[in-house]
Amino acid sequence: MALVACPTGSIGTRQKLDIRAAAASYPELIEENVYFCGYASPNSYGAASYLITRPEGNILVDSPRFARTLVERIEKLGGVSLIVFSHRDDVADHEKFHAHFKCPRIIHRADAAGIQTERFFEGQQPVRLDRDLVAIPVPGHTRGHIVLLYRDRFLFTGDHLAGSDNGGGLIAFRDVAWYSWPEQTKSMKRLLDVRFEWVLPGHGRRAHLPFEVMHQKLIDCINWMERTN
Phi, psi (degrees; rounded to nearest 5) at 193: -95, 5
| Class level of CATH domain 2-227 | alpha beta
Map out the domains of the chain as residue ranges. 2-227
> How confident is the prediction for the chain on average, in pLDDT?
93
Q: pLDDT tens-digit profile of 52-83?
A: 999 999 999 999 999 999 999 999 999 999 99
Cis peptide before 42 (omega within 30 of 0): no
Taking alpha carbons only, the member of 108, 201, 208 closest to residue 161 is 201
**For residue 28, what are the β-bridge partners?**
36
Neighbours of 12 (CB within 10 A): 6
Local confidence band at 132 (pLDDT 50, 70, 90 cut-offs): very high
